[in-house]
Amino acid sequence: MDNKFSRRSFLYSVSMLAAGAAMPIPANAFGQKKKLRVVLVGTGVRGTSFWGKRLVDQYPELLEFVGLCDSNPGRLAYAKTYMGVDCPTFTDFDELLEKTSPDLIMVTTTDSTHHEFIIKGLKADIDVLTEKPLTIDEDKTQDILKAEKKSKKNLIVGFNYRWSPYMTKIKELLHNQEIGDITSVDFHWYLNNHHGASYFRRWHGLADKGGTLWVHKATHHFDLLNWWLDSDPEEVFAYGALEHYGSNGPFRGENCRTCPHKNECDYYWDITKSARDMKLYVENEEYDGYIRDNCVYRHEIDIYDKMSAQIKYANNAVVNYSLTTYSPYEGWKIAFNGRKGRLEAWLDIPYMNNSNLSQEELHAAEMDQSRKDDMVHEPLVVHKNFQDFKIIQVGSERGGHGGGDKRLHDKIFLNPDAPDPLKHAAGLRDGAMSVLVGVAARKSIKSNRPVKIASLSSIKPSPNRA
């Protein structure tokens, strides 16, 4: 990106959502006049923080934790202290259901187990909220579809990425037909050597636990694509390989703490420096043998670390997608080609960031912000055919997945009745469709053939999701 951007006009935009929650508080998200009784199953890092402590801190008048569940009793005891709650704890989910009568079950266990708790919750006619991915394969997806059909209650899928102002701005521009109907998309996601490697240290490195990164990670990306394009994926062709981690490593150890190769391994990670990880994982290894700082070169790793797919949508848009897991930087790029022009967006690409803009312009942009102290501004480019391009600066928070996390919470717990013109709220169909793209990619790699999404479940792809 060169400095010519600084000579161009700057549109200054903050999503409506970025202005923060401003709606009156209803009875609560689930239509009740008392506090919402919530339970959490899976008291690991995501459960205890985002769906745990944050809810306790942010919405004390709206909800109360009435039970926590985890198969690891040590982690469960730590979770209670960390979250600052005083509710009963259970290692048996059936007992939790029997004794706590919750209004909402929040599922934050290992991906391969989500379906168990979703199905039990829906069968008991209790609302369920699950972390992504919905599940890891097509059979479990179909079982969940059946369970929701028979249930009086609903499933929410926590797709936080959709809610960031930057992602929202892309949706708004596409929705408003700024560049006309979309015919093709290039979408590339780069995980750096730190974040990327973290998926190879624990259960995510095993296909039967996380469904490979085609599902565990790419579910976010496929959901964004489905939502942005407002169409269902129809067919997937993919390549993938494991070329860097796992058995490809030059050496391996039992785990980082005890490894004889500490001094020569680029991936050496000292978990003992993180008090939280020690308390959450290391101090509870005795109960289930869950090792958080496993070797990224261990032989049992059976997922892909290089992934590339072509996805054809029911509205005829075609997508070129890739996921890289050992990049020197963390970031992503997308380009939408439409009948009337092109939209380009990217985040965190070091060679394309705001530092290429003049300080004066940056300052002007910042001064125009109501919440400049905690906002950053990221550009996206709209280039209409036969016209000059324009740059739109989108303001959003750095943390919490670009501000997506807190907006997702507010929608669910604080402002459930707020208008949703861009269809941010995600349910079962969205969860299923994003997982099925990853499942199709896995099947395509194995069979070396394109795989039809319609062959995987009872959902039939539709050109227009509305």
User: Considering the complex, what minimum distance in angstroms separates the CB of residue 426 from ligand NAD?
Assistant: 11
Q: Is 333 in the site for ligand NAD (CB under 6 A)?
A: no
Spatial separation of the C-alpha atoms in residues 277 and 282, rounded to whole Å? 7
Q: Which of 5, 85, 105, 111 binds ligand NAD (CB under 6 A)?
A: 111
Tell me whether residue 61 is exposed, middle or buried, using C-beta atoms within 10 angstroms of its C-beta: 0 to 12, 13 to 18, 19 or more.
exposed
Spatial separation of the C-alpha atoms in residues 424 and 72, rounded to whole Å? 34
**Ranges of H-type helices in 202-317:** 207-210, 213-216, 218-229, 275-280, 285-288
Spatial separation of the C-alpha atoms in residues 270 and 172, rounded to whole Å? 43
Which is nearest to 134 in space by CA: 423, 438, 378?
438
Question: Total residues contacting ligand NAD (rule CB under 6 A)?
Answer: 23
Q: Is 294 in the site for ligand NAD (CB under 6 A)?
A: no
Q: Which of 15, 113, 141, 212 binds ligand NAD (CB under 6 A)?
A: 113
x-or-dash string of contact with ligand NAD, 383-412, rule CB under 6 A: ------------------x-----------
User: Considering the complex, what minimum distance in angstroms separates the CB of residue 256 from ligand NAD?
Assistant: 17
User: Which of 284, 322 has the CB closer to ligand NAD?
Assistant: 284
CB distance 350 to 196 below 8 Å: no
Residues 187-246 that bind ligand NAD (CB under 6 A): 216
User: Considering the complex, what minimum distance in angstroms separates the CB of residue 403 from ligand NAD?
Assistant: 13
Q: In whole angstroms, what separates CA 112 from the centre of its chain? A: 16
Strand order in the sheet with 10-13: 10-13, 389-397, 375-384, 341-347, 331-338, 182-192, 318-327, 306-313, 233-241, 451-452
β-bridge partners, 307: 240, 323
User: Considering the complex, what minimum distance in angstroms separates the CB of residue 336 from ligand NAD?
Assistant: 23
Q: Is 108 in the site for ligand NAD (CB under 6 A)?
A: yes
x-or-dash string of contact with ligand NAD, 140-179, rule CB under 6 A: ------------------x-x-------------------
User: Judged by CB under 6 A, which stretch of 37-45, 139-147, 418-426, 445-453 contacts ligand NAD?
Assistant: 37-45
Both tokens of 445, joined, read 């790699």
Spatial separation of the C-alpha atoms in residues 138 and 127, rounded to whole Å? 22
x-or-dash string of contact with ligand NAD, 40-79, rule CB under 6 A: -xxxxxxx---------------------xxxx--x----
Sign of CA dihedral 31, 34, 39, 43: positive
Spatial separation of the C-alpha atoms in residues 110 and 28, rounded to whole Å? 29
User: Which of 45, 362 has the CB closer to ligand NAD?
Assistant: 45
Of all residues in the shown chain, the one whose CB is closest to ligand NAD is 44
User: Considering the complex, what minimum distance in angstroms separates the CB of residue 166 from ligand NAD?
Assistant: 15
Residues that bind ligand NAD (CB under 6 A): 41-47, 69-72, 75, 108-111, 113, 131-132, 158, 160, 216, 401
